Every structure is written in structure tokens, then in C-alpha cells.
Amino acid sequence: KQEVTQIPAALSVPEGENLVLNCSFTDSAIYNLQWFRQDPGKGLTSLLLIQSSQREQTSGRLNASLDKSSGRSTLYIAASQPGDSATYLCAVDSWGKLQFGAGTQVVVTP
């Protein structure tokens, strides 16, 4: 069974620093990996989707890498802002269903 782990569970950084969020998964037979953002009490917003054949995907200040063979993905957020404070979840698409990590709660202090 696919297991997805996110470390650390929580992270606090001063504004302007780069954020590095980690996601690991146990079964490399994946279709893709998605990163989501969730604000308190709200639904999830898709940030990036990396297909299994891709090594990375970029959108603005966000960059996500994927190393399928080692079962790892990293989300980089450049020059963090207080508005980046949220919980970030990764999800692996295996066998047509998403398996989610528990998330990393990020606080960016002004």
C-alpha cells in the first residue's frame, strides 16, 4: 500500500527566506504527484502537478522536483511572504486514486 510522508510537520520562517518542503512515498509506480495548499477551514487548492515522466515543474515562485526512483519530491517556494502561510500537502496518484501526506504547516513571519 502506498504511504506518503511529509517532513517536517511544521515550519516557521522569516519573510524573504526560501521554503523547502519534503514529500516521500513508498511505491514508485505512480502516475503523477500533486502539491496542494490548504488555508484553515478551507478546501485544497492545486499548486503544481508533476507527471511521472517529468523531473520538475515550475509556476512563479514555486518549483517542484520529482525523483521517482528514490520516492521523493520537494517543493521550493522562493522569497517567502506572509501570504504563503498555510498547510501544504503532497498527494501521489497511484492506481487512479490520490494518497495524501499529512501536510506541512508553514508560518511565514513578517
Q: Which residues bind to another protein, rule: CB under 8 A?
A: 31-32, 34, 36, 41-46, 49, 51, 89, 91, 93, 96-98, 100-103
What is the bridge-based pairing of β-strands 72-77 and 44-51?
unpaired
The least distance separating another protein from the CB of residue 100, rounded to whole angstroms, comes to 4
The least distance separating another protein from the CB of residue 96, rounded to whole angstroms, comes to 5
For residue 53, what are the contacts with CB-CB under 8 A and spacing of at least 6?
Answer: none
The least distance separating another protein from the CB of residue 66, rounded to whole angstroms, comes to 14
Measured distance CA(11)–CA(52) in Å, rounded: 27
